[in-house]
Amino acid sequence: MARRPQWTDRDPVIIGCCTSNTNIEPSRPALGFQVESTPLNLRCHLLADLDRDAMRLPFGRRHAARSDFISSIPLILSLSSFAASPAAAISFTPVPAPNLDLSQLGRVVLAGDFSGISLYQFEEQNQRPPRNNGSEQLLARMPNGLFAPIVNTDATIRTMCTFNTDNGTVVVLGGNFTSIRDPDSDSKAMQSTAIALFDPDTAVVTPLPGLSGQVNALLCDQDKNTVYLGGSFVGANSTNALAWEGGRDWVNLPFAGFNGPVTSIAKAPNGNILFGGSFTGLGNASTPSTPDGQIINLSTASITSGSSSTTPGFSDPKNVVCQTSGEDGAGSTWLLQDNAPGFWDAKFRHGFQPTKLRLYNTHQDGRGTKTWRFTAMPINGIMNFTYIDPVTRQNASCTSECPLSDDKSIKFQDFHFVNVIGMKRSSAIDISAFYGSERGT
């Protein structure tokens, strides 16, 4: 940052001026003009007015009133989201107020090639543009509302939390960075993979070695004097989850982590620590090659159908939702019109990845579904299935004409998706052939 010139009240100063065909009243002092260049002249657009008292010495008296002249700053992460004390502990050097009196100049205009303007009040203010190399900064809020960088990392800071240690309060930083340094220092960046401690009282950064990977989530549990980490990393003898006890070393969790990335950590009211992410098992336990799935709640879906029967008690497609008894009858069975194809459609409020479909066939008055197919939305694709043939007891496959047995001794049939893909909020069962004169389930 260049040093400000030291002006006196006797020095004639022109901060900026422009000539224009626009009629500007000379009696109204103004500060803040947006200037656009044209082939013939300069056009000045008034942004804000200041009274003459605001232009008099000392200039620093009006700093708070002009906080709206703040250029847009890309905020990556800020300590201001924590308590006020950490940011206040970081010192900012005020710039002495200039001995500047503009009251004798009349209207003064700032003109130039800029998109924002702010008062230069602290030496830590800078005009360095944000880097586009993937690095990020930890920012602290200055008394005038602007932000100053206090820590630089070579990659993303994904999460942070405050933690009280025996030596004071620190901010725990987690992400996918590998090095960290003081933004105003020319010294070499220190190695710090995925996690580091920042002391807001001294502005000192302390790396925590021992991890390989990235940290996605942190939970600072002051009650247990422990920081819980989650992410996609290996550390100590754990995978993707680990604990750090304040002032000591890494502590392995009893279950040695998880077999997939952790993306969130929370503390339950009863004191239990909850981990969320894309995992199917614990780090110290073997898991089946085909993990158990979660049953999709059909009761919250919007159910529609086509060519439903007009027979009372058998026309509502919702009749078959959560019907696991296999009993037929009005209110428990859904039928189509005689000799007509149709469909059963469910629209959800969320996306999902189905792995298995269980169907119960109806036997109402000798009717039932003979062949069907499953259409995934929004790709409008017919899905492939594998199943066990109830007659041969052998593995079989189907696509557009999947069979359902009419054997009353077979309560249901399971069909496994060959390709597990994401479906966005909608799926349909199209019924193409039937037993008796009506299809249904």
Comparing C-alpha atoms, which of 261, 260, 243 is closest to residue 252?
243
E runs forming strands in 8-103: 33-37, 42-46, 77-78
What's the pTM value of the predicted model, to 2 decimals?
0.49
CA 171-176-178 angle, 5° bins: 85
Tens digits of residue pLDDT in 270-316:
999 999 998 888 887 766 555 556 787 887 788 888 888 888 888 88
399: three-class secondary structure by DSSP: coil
pLDDT at 160: 92
Residues linked to residue 215 through DSSP beta bridges, in sequence order: 231
pLDDT at 35: 32
Cβ atoms 6, 97 nearer than 8 A: no
Average pLDDT score over residue span 46-66: 33
Cβ atoms 49, 65 nearer than 8 A: no
| C-alpha to C-alpha distance for 48 and 34, rounded to whole angstroms | 10
Q: How many CB atoms lie within 10 A of CB 106?
A: 12
Residue type, 169: T
Comparing C-alpha atoms, which of 6, 3, 108 is closest to residue 50?
108
E runs forming strands in 182-270: 190-191, 195-199, 204-207, 211-221, 226-235, 238-245, 250-251, 262-267
Phi, psi of 79 (to 5 degrees): -75, -10
Region of residue 307 (phi > 0: left; psi between -120 and 50: alpha; otherwise: beta): left
| C-alpha to C-alpha distance for 259 and 71, rounded to whole angstroms | 46
Tens digits of residue pLDDT in 77-99:
444 333 333 333 567 778 887 78
pLDDT at 80: 37
The secondary structure of residue 96, as a DSSP letter, is P
At 345, the pLDDT band (50, 70, 90 cuts) reads confident
- The Cα-based distances of 354 to 202, 383, 399 in angstroms read 53, 11, 16
Residue 123 has pLDDT above 80, yes or no: no
In which element (H, E) is residue 163 found? strand 157-165
| C-alpha to C-alpha distance for 109 and 28, rounded to whole angstroms | 11
Region of residue 177 (phi > 0: left; psi between -120 and 50: alpha; otherwise: beta): beta
Comparing C-alpha atoms, which of 291, 329, 321 is closest to residue 305?
321
Residue 289 structure tokens: 């090659």
